[in-house]
Amino acid sequence: MGCGCNCNKQKNVEEKEEFVNNEFLQLEDTIKCNENLLNSVIKIQSIFRANQTRTRINKMEIPSKNYDINITSQSQLADSTIYHQLTTDQITPDELNELLNLYPPLEDNIKVEIIGPIQYDNNNSIYFGEWDFKNKKRHGRGIQIWNEGSKYYGYWINDKANKKGKLIHNDGDVYEGEWLDDKPNGKGKYIHVDGTIYEGDWKNDKQDGYGKETWPDGAWYEGEYSDGKKNGKGKFHWSDNSFYEGNLANNTINGQGTYIFSDKRKYEGSWVNNKLEGKGIFTWPDGRKYEGEYKNDKKDGYGIFLWQNGNQYKGYWKNGKQHGEGEYFSSTEQKWIKGVWKDGKKIKSME
C-alpha cells in the first residue's frame, strides 16, 4: 500500500517551486526600495509556500488493512457432534504427525485420542487430530478444514481454537499466533497475500496494543493500536522517505506530531484529521521558518515568517496569506514596516 502518490513527480514540482521562490528572493533584494513591488513579492511567495504545504499533506495517506480472522467469520463452527468417518487426502497422516511434532501435548489431565479424518454433517468441515471422547469435543492438537477452504493447525481447548495455532485463509492470507476461544488474542503475525504484514498484539480478533505493519513498497508503521485501528503514539515511514512521529486516532494523524518531508522540510505541531491545525512550526532546509497558527492546512491566525536573508513578517494570516495587522522587517534597511494586510497585500501603512 504505502502512500500511493507519485512521489518523483511531486518532488519535481516542489523543486520547480523552490527555484521560483529563490528567484523571488533575489528580486526582493533588487526592489527593496519600492514598497508596492515588495508587497507583491511577499504575496506571491506566500501563495507558493501555502500551495506546497497543501499539496504534500493532502496526498498523504494512512495505509490500513482489514484483519478479519475470527474463525467464526470463516464458516459456521462445528457445533454438532454428528459426524462420520471420511477418506480424504485434504488432511493426511503426515500433516498430523508434523503438527504433533511441532506442538507439545497439552498438560491438563484430559484424556485424548486421535480421531479422523471425520466430516461434520452440519457444515461439511473436516477434522483430524486429538479428541476428548468423554465430552465429544476437539481438544489438544488438531487440524481443521472448512468447506470454503480455510485451514487451521494448532491447539483446541473445549472444542475451540486456543493457545497457539495457524489459520490459512482460503484467499491465501495467513495468521499465526496466540488464540483464545476461536479469536486471536495475545501475540500474532498476519501476512496478507499481497505481502503486507502485521506483527504484534491482538485482542478479540483485532489489533490492540503495540505492533508493526509493513507494506510491499517499503512503507511501515510501528506504534499503538486500539480496537483494530491505529490509536495512540506511533511512527510512520512512507516509501518516499517522508516520516511522521506523534499521535494518531482512528487511523488518522491527530494531536501533536512531527512530519518530515522527503525533501527535509519539517512541521512540528498540532494536527486534526491529517491536516495542520492549531499551533505549529514549519521549517525549510534553506533556513526559512514559520511559527504560528494553522487552520485546515493553511496559515491562519497569528504567525511569524522568517526568511533566510533575515527578513521577517509577524502578524495575522488567513487562508495562508497575510491578513490583518502585521509588521514586515527588512534586514537590509534594518527597518520595521507596520501596516494592515488583506489577502497577502498591504493595504494600509501604520507608520
How many Cα atoms within 13 Å fall on the side-chain side of residue 18?
15
Contact by Cβ (8 Å): 243, 225:
no
pLDDT score for 65: 72
- At a CB cut-off of 8 Å and minimum separation 6, what does 292 contact? 279, 280, 299, 301, 302, 303, 304, 317
Q: What is the pLDDT of residues 258-276, one digit of tens each?
A: 999 999 999 999 999 999 9
Q: What is the pLDDT of residues 22-46, one digit of tens each?
A: 444 443 444 444 444 444 444 434 4
Q: Three cell numbers at 332?
A: 537590509
Q: What is the mean pLDDT of the chain?
A: 84
Quick one: what percent of the chain has pLDDT higher than 70? 77
Question: Which segment of 21-25, 66-70, 135-139, 160-164 scores lowest on mean pLDDT?
Answer: 21-25
Q: What is the pLDDT of residues 140-197, one digit of tens each?
A: 999 999 999 999 999 999 999 999 999 999 999 999 999 999 999 999 999 999 999 9
pLDDT score for 122: 85
Contact by Cβ (8 Å): 306, 312:
yes
Contact by Cβ (8 Å): 82, 122:
yes
Contact by Cβ (8 Å): 143, 152:
yes
- What structural domains does the chain harbor? 7-63+240-349 (2.20.110.10), 71-214 (no CATH)
User: Residue 39 region, left (φ>0) first, then alpha (ψ -120 to 50), else beta?
Assistant: alpha
Contact by Cβ (8 Å): 159, 166:
no
What is the average per-residue pLDDT within 214-243? 96
pLDDT band at residue 63 under the 50/70/90 scheme: low
Q: Three cell numbers at 121?
A: 454433517
